[in-house]
Structures are given as structure tokens and as C-alpha cells.
Amino acid sequence: MNEPMTESAPVDPAAPQQREFGAGPPSAFAPPTPWRRRVQIFGWVVAAGLALLMILVAWLAVTAPLSRSLKPIAPPAISLMSSDGHLIARRGAVIDKPVTVSELPAHVPQAFMAIEDRRFQSHWGVDPRGIARAMWHNLWSDGSSQGGSTITQQLAKGVFLSSDRTFGRKAREALIAVWLETWLTKDQIMERYLSNVYFGDNVYGLRAAARHYFNRSPDRLTIPQAAMLAGLLKAPSRLAPTSNLKGARARAALVTQAMVDAGYISQAERNALPPARLDVHEEPDPTSGTYFADWVLPHARDRAGAVYGEQEIPTTLDWRIQRLAEAAIRRAPLGNAQAALVAMKPDGSVVAMVGGKNYEKSSFNRAVQAKRQPGSTFKLFVYLAAFRAGMTPDDMIDDTPITTGTYRPANHSGKYRGRITLRQAFAASSNVAAVRLTQKVGVDNVIKVARDLGVTAPLTEDLSLALGTSEIPLVELAEAYASVAAGAYPVIAHGLPPEEQGWFEKLMQRQRHFSDDQLVMIRDLLSSAANRGTGSAAALRTSTFGKTGTTQDSRDAIFVGYAGGIVTAVWIGNDDNSPLPGGAAGGGVPARIWRNFMSGAINEPVEDAPEETQDPDLVNAIANVSVETGIGNVGVGVDEGGMTVNIGGNQLRIPSDQPIPAPPQGTPPPRIAPTQTEGEDGAPQ
């Protein structure tokens, strides 16, 4: 039964309304209360701060990596080492390994803290009290100033920042200091600081400074010594005790008093301390290999890259061989002339280099930087061009005056031998024969051979080229002769061990090889010149190959050759290009220097010949004769061991203790004509 409808009561607007079914809320959220609003704002601030902190940490990780604080702030120091582990030279600042605080006496870090940062153990990288004290002192002082930077800030500035004094740099310094304090212990910060700081005399780091000034390790430093080192930091260059011992000791006295004020030592202990005494240890800077070091250093820096810290770069130089080279130059009768020597293996690895008589007086490297005329050593390229053209050592050439054309070179002393073989012409270093060969094969082909063998210097495009009138560095001559020793070309002189190459580099830098015939023939000629020709003063018991060179008026005298796996070029001359006294020739002093050096380098003891037997004219007059008979050309060589007779392709060796056999029946007596000493520089004025 339905209930009767009743009239609804009036609605009170102030009374809370009940939500009807299906009706939406009047608002999605209730209005926030004031305290909730404050919490929201605080959360936003915290979130923004955390985001900023993350960005800051990321920025510091990139711009101020902790690992970098271990690396010296000095420019990279490169130590060049010989192939057998000897120090050749050091370039860059003197640095050493980092120190460890736990291994140091307590007074060592205390000396630095007393004078540089007395509150080091308590602050967080920045010391407001220290900054305020410094500002007050600077405001009322009479000109002296104090710094408020902590040790941590100094580390931050030295490792990560520049030395400018802008507010921005100081702000970054403080920020990085806090960063370092957050991630490193106090001992780690102190270790990095002591291992990086500058102590004057181009010395960085406590270990290097202790060794330099007191010749001892940092764990053995006394209080006066530690105080002196700590005192240097205010003005390292001005207070360096090697140049200002009085100033360094006065500053050290301030440090020891600061140690008393800080409570590290008593006043009585301080008063009893003697002043520090120096025992300066100069870092090794040997003259051995100095010319070599200058030559190889740019390549060493490229290989080292832009990194901090000392690096030991191995080189190809052989310490023992280098000393032999220096001794050979030092003992030579050079007078006022200069000398240079470069020795390398057939692959171009330089094992010794001397660029002059005295590096301290002249660092100009005559083995590399000087360009001088090579004289008849250039004939190597002429005869190789002839062999490329199909000629052989037994082919004939006229060794007679050139009477046609505008260019009329002459042999040394006007000596000529008629029609001779290429072998004889090369051994006697005939000028006219070389020019005739160049006419026959073409100047361009001679230049092509020189370029193939690594000569990069400009070359004259006329017949005088055959006599070595174009200026070439000594090292390039050595490279060319090394190509013959190696049987492949070009050979590039290098002072650093070659790096591993990829297949493309190997393909692009692949050497070319001489033909077997050409190699045998040119070695035949070099052997003839070094053993029975103008270079016989250089001959060793070991198979010797080489060539002399003398320029016009004896301005340059050269010997280049190889034996026992070492290729060596020797030059003597005057820096002003004036003539050498006494008509010096490549077969004289240079050949003897070469022999003296090489005998030791390849471990073949050879005593110097008596001076009276070392005259090149006498040696060559005995050792080189040419014989023409009715049955052809016969070459005869006489030396201390006996006689060598070359007939065609056959050779007969007759020891000196055996009688010379009579010539065959029916053979007419030979006509003997002695050769010239040095037939390479008689070009007319």
C-alpha cells in the first residue's frame, strides 16, 4: 500500500548538503592549507637543489677528475733512453714519483701545514677564518700580503685552474676544493699537494726536490730541510737555495717558528736546530747523445702525446756505440775543423750520432742540419744508374781529359789512366769517368736513383751533379748507403723504435728491392773502393764497403760505408766552408775515424796504424795499381797481408809470406801506373 506523499521541509542553505546520486563534486581538491603549501614549496626547492647538485657533480667529474690531481702540474717531462736502458737526456721539468704521507716523518707535512695552512686538518677545503685573518692583515700591513688559500685550494688551482686572479676563478677554486675534500682523505690531499708543488730550479714535487737540494729521499728529510722546502713555496724561483741560500735559510727560520706556534715542536727544539746544508744533486744531463736527443725529441713528443708526468721514451741509440763515436771524433786530428758522424743499422735505426766536436760550444747538428757537398760519395747514384741502364763493372770507360763541351772537369792532380773498367774508375774515384757515365745514362736517371734511395735535397740538373756539387745532409747519404746494405730502398733514418703499423700503412710504405744483379755489382764497386781504392785506409778484416768524397779545394772530406751490420757516414770540414788545411781528403782523416769507430762498434779490435803510414797518398800508392797487358786489364791490390790479382772475373790471393809466381809463358810484362789518392775534386775553377 502506498504511503501518502508529504510536503518537503524547507532547505537550510547553511546546512551541509547531501550529494544526490549521480551528481559530481563541486571541486576536485579541497583548497590546500597554508602549511601544506609551504611543504610543497620546500619540496620543489629540494628537488631543484638536488638537480643542481647532480649537474654540479657531473660538471666537476668532467672538468676536475680526481685522477688528474695525481698528475704533476709541470709540463710533460720526457726522458730519452738508449736501447740498452741508459738515460740519454731529459727534456722538461724535473719530477719524480708521488710521495706517500704514511712514509714521511711527521715533521715533513707539519712544516708545510704550519706555514701554508695551519687549520688543514679541520676545514672542509675553504677556511673562512684564514680568509678573514689574511684580509685583516693585508688591510693593516705595510705592504706585505698574506694569502687565505688552503692547501686544498692550492691543489685545486695548480691542477685544474689557471693562475689568473679573477673572482670567477677563485669561486671555481673554492668549489673544486670542497669537491676534493668530499672524495679524498686529508692524507690523499696532502700527498697530491706535495707531489705537485713547485720548488724552484725547474723541480716539481717533494721527492724530486729532496733529491735535488739534499740528495736524499723525502723519508730522510730533517726538520731544517723540511722547513727550507716548505719555505720555498712562497717564491720558489727567488728563494731557491742554489742561488739564494741566505734568503732560503731566513724563510726556513720563519717556518720553524710557525711550527712552534702550531705546537708541532717546542721552542727549545727549534732553537737547537742547525741550518739546513745543501748537497745539490744535479739531475743527469749527459752530453752523450745530446745531438741525437735534439734530433729525436720532436718525434718523441709526438709519440708521448699531451699527457702529464714523466715518460721514458726508448730510442734506437746504443749507449756503447755512441761513446765509441764520441771517442773517435775526440781523438781525431781535426785542428780547428768540425766533424760529424751518424751510424745506423741497415733498417735505418740510428745507433750513434755526433753533430760536432763539442755540444756545449755549438749545438748545431752537422749530421742532420748541415747541408754540404757530398763529393764523390754521390757517385754511388751515378753507377747505380749505369747498372740500371744495363752496364756492368767490367764495362770500359775512358779515364782521359774531357776536351769537348763547356763543362770540363778534371781528375785530382791531373792523373788519368786511359781506358779502364767501371770497377777501376769507381775505386780510383775518377771524375771524368763519372761525368761520362752521367752523359751516357742521363742526368734525370741519376736524379731518379738518388730520389729512390731517399735523397730529398734539391739536386742540380747538370753534369756537375755527378761530382756531388749539390748539397745533401750527411744523414741522407747514410740512408742511401744503408739501402745498399739492406738490399732494399728507401731506408729512412729513425731514432725511435717503429710503431706497429696497420696493413694499409705497410702497403703504402713498402720498400722496393734492388735486382740481384744490380746489388751484386754495386757492392762489388763499394768493396773495391774501400779495400783497394781511395778508401783503403778504412778497410777492416770484416768485409768492408764504402766510398770516399772530397769537394773542391778540400772544403769537405767524407767517408760513407758499412761493415758488420752498421752503416756509418763521417764528415769533416769548417763551418765557414773554408778549405781544410793540407788538402785533406775523404780517404784520410774521415776514413781513419770511420775505421777506428767501426772496429769497436762491430767488436773487431783494430790498432791504429802508425801516423807515418797513414798518409793517404802513401797508402793508395801502395794499395792501388792498374795493369794493362796484351791479354786484357789486370787489377792488382797490395796490402799488409799480401797481393790480390783480379783477372776478369777471377781473383788470385797471394799472401805476403809466399813468393809471387812468375807470369805465364808468353805474357808480356805489365805496364804499371799508380792511381791517384783521391780523384774526385779536380773540377776547374
Helix (H, G, I), strand (E, B) or coil at 477: helix
pTM: 0.61
| DSSP H or E segment with residue 354 | strand 350-354
**359 neighbors 293 (Cβ within 8 angstroms):** no
Strands 671-674 and 650-655: unpaired
Distance CA 604, CA 317 (A): 20
CA angle at residue 256 from 252 to 262, to 5 degrees? 140
| DSSP H or E segment with residue 292 | helix 290-304
- For the cut 60, the answer to whether the pLDDT of residue 112 exceeds it is yes
What φ, ψ does residue 567 adopt, rounded to 5°? -105, 130
| Amino acid 396: pLDDT | 96
DSSP 96-155: -PPP-GGGS-THHHHHHHHHH-TTTTTSSS--HHHHHHHHHHHHHSSS-------HHHHH
CA angle at residue 463 from 462 to 465, to 5 degrees? 80
pLDDT tens-digit readout, 47-61: 887 777 677 666 655
For helices 151-160 and 167-183, give the axis angle rounded to 10 degrees: 110
Distance CA 279, CA 215 (A): 6
| Amino acid 133: pLDDT | 67
pLDDT tens-digit readout, 352-392: 999 999 998 999 999 999 999 999 999 999 999 999 999 99
pLDDT tens-digit readout, 301-340: 777 654 445 678 899 999 999 999 999 999 999 999 999 9
Distance CA 431, CA 463 (A): 11
Burial of 400 (0-12, 13-18, 19+ CB in 10 A): middle
Task: Label residue 71 left, alpha or beta by phi (over 0 means left) and psi (-120 to 50 means alpha).
Answer: beta
State the pLDDT confidence band at 77, using cuts at 50, 70 and 90. Answer: confident
Distance CA 147, CA 534 (A): 75
pLDDT tens-digit readout, 660-684: 344 344 433 333 333 333 444 443 3
| Amino acid 627: pLDDT | 34
DSSP 562-575: EETTEEEEEEEE-T
Which has more pLDDT, 475 or 618? 475
How many residues are there in the chain?
Answer: 685
- For the cut 80, the answer to whether the pLDDT of residue 572 exceeds it is yes
| Percent of the chain whose pLDDT exceeds 90 | 53
Distance CA 497, CA 48 (A): 56
Q: Return the closest-CA partner of residue 476 out of 539, 560, 550.
A: 560
Q: How far is CA 167 from each of CA 130, 145, 170, 176, 179, rounded to the nearest angstrom?
A: 18, 18, 5, 14, 18
| Amino acid 498: pLDDT | 86
The CA-to-CA distance between both ends of the chain, in Å, stands at: 153
| Amino acid 164: pLDDT | 46
